[in-house]
Amino acid sequence: MLITRRLEFSASYRDRSGTTHGHNWELEVTLSGPIDVETGMVIDLKELKEVMEREVEARFDHRSLNDDTPFFRDRAPTPESFAALVFELLDRALPNRLLQRIRLSPTRDLTIEVDR
Amino acid sequence: MIRVIRRYQFSAAHVLARSDWSDARNRAVYGKCANPSGHGHNYRIELSLEGLLDFGSAVDAIVARRVLADLDARFLNREVAAFARVVPTAENIARHIWDTLSEALAPARLAGVRLVETSNNSVEYFGSEPHHEQDRGSGRAAAARDR
């Protein structure tokens, strides 16, 4: 069973050419796991929501990826490297290796997928 | 491989609570979704179908009769036999739709059921998968649930 939750946030970044720009990022987080026989759920959606808010929204929303987070001090972020980082942060915070996939879209014309 | 995705919708009320648990325990596990009066969603079903060819309208008729007639405008816990003892979480509703349709759509083959509960939440089911059969522990759902 796959379960997917969505989040939007806004963040700016400075790419390798030195141009600063921002996006409304759309993030879809997909977990894969069995239906818990007792509760009928894969995960408590409140818990998933809280993890996404803590690991992603609180860190990146209305921030500059370069200047306001420690992750891109030495290298310019790309949508791909940002997506890989988001996968890693969520994977560390979620139980039982439930994280299966994220889809991160800086615009509606571009989506980066990271699969386990 | 061509896969066709066909979309349907229904509106239904549900309560997330187990009758063999106390109100307090149901509140603790399911949060505001345990409100006994129930609450509702406009659910969207997306069926992934293979080998559909031109059988689309036949599939629609089967879905209408076996799924939508059963679920649309119902209080799932009280009016749908499948949820008399099974908590109608999105996960269990998706599995119920899969179980109802998986053998019924031939010659089309059902490849997956996606159930969209809100614009932020959806689940997908592809039939039983061996590594999904184990119970990875039931203690995770301790906090309130936001649906």
Question: Which pLDDT belongs to residue A76?
Answer: 85
Question: Which pLDDT belongs to residue B57?
Answer: 80
Taking CB atoms and an 8 Å cutoff, what residues of chain B touch A6?
Answer: 119-121
Q: B142 falls in which pLDDT band (50, 70, 90)?
A: very low
Determine the average pLDDT of the residues in B85-98: 96
Tell me whether B132 touches chain A (CB under 8 Å): yes
pLDDT, tens digit, 9 for 90 and up, residues B103-130: 999 888 999 999 999 999 999 999 975 4
Residues B3-128: name the CATH superfamily.
6-pyruvoyl tetrahydropterin synthase/QueD (3.30.479.10)
CATH number corresponding to A2-115: 3.30.479.10
pLDDT, tens digit, 9 for 90 and up, residues A83-93: 999 999 999 99
Question: Which pLDDT belongs to residue B147?
Answer: 40
Parse chain A into domains and list their residue ranges: 2-115
Query: What's the gap in Å between the CA of B130 and the closest CA on chain A?
Result: 10
- Indicate yes or no: CB of A47 within 8 angstroms of CB of B140: yes
Query: What's the gap in Å between the CA of A41 and the closest CA on chain B?
Result: 6
| Angstrom distances, CA of residue A109 to CA of A25, A29, A112 | 12, 18, 10
pLDDT over 60 at B134, yes or no: no
Distance of CA A91 to the CA centre of its chain: 10
pLDDT over 60 at B31, yes or no: yes
Question: Which pLDDT belongs to residue B146?
Answer: 38
Distance CA B69, CA B74 (A): 9
Q: Which two tokens stand for residue A103?
A: 């889809």
Determine the average pLDDT of the residues in A56-76: 92
| Angstrom distances, CA of residue B111 to CA of A26, A36, B4, B51, B107 | 27, 23, 10, 10, 12
Give backbone dihedrals phi and psi of A40, rounded to 5 degrees, phi first. Answer: 75, 15
pLDDT, tens digit, 9 for 90 and up, residues B10-23: 999 999 999 899 99
Determine the average pLDDT of the residues in A99-109: 95
Q: B52 falls in which pLDDT band (50, 70, 90)?
A: low
pLDDT, tens digit, 9 for 90 and up, residues B61-82: 999 999 999 999 999 999 999 9
For chain A, give the mean pLDDT. Answer: 94
Q: pTM of the predicted model, to two decimals?
A: 0.82
Taking CB atoms and an 8 Å cutoff, what residues of chain B touch A57?
Answer: none
For chain B, give the mean pLDDT. Answer: 85
| Number of other residues whose CB lies within 10 A of the CB of residue A76 | 14
pLDDT, tens digit, 9 for 90 and up, residues A9-65: 999 998 888 888 889 999 999 999 999 999 999 999 999 999 999 999 999 999 999
Question: Which pLDDT belongs to residue A22?
Answer: 87
- Indicate yes or no: CB of B121 within 8 angstroms of CB of A3: yes
Question: Which pLDDT belongs to residue B129?
Answer: 56
ipTM higher than the 0.90 cut: no
pLDDT over 60 at B136, yes or no: no
